[in-house]
Amino acid sequence: MRRIKPTLGSKTVLWLAIVYSIAITVLFLMPTSQLPSVGLAGIDKIVHILIFLFLTILWQLVVFKRRGDRLTTKSSFLLLVVMIMFGILIEVLQGEVTLSRTGNFYDVLADLLGAVMGVLVFQKVKHLFST
Q: Which domain holds residue 73?
A: 4-129
Q: In this structure, what are the phi and psi dihedrals at residue 99, rounded to the nearest 5 degrees?
A: -95, -30
pLDDT for 37: 62
pLDDT for 103: 82
Q: What average pLDDT values come out for the chain (131 residues) when binned by 10 residues?
A: 57 93 92 63 86 97 90 94 96 86 89 97 90 75
**Are 83 and 55 a contacting pair, CB within 8 Å?**
yes
* pTM, to two decimals: 0.86
Report the number of distinct structural domains present in the chain: 1
Rounded Cα distance between 70 and 118, Å, is 16
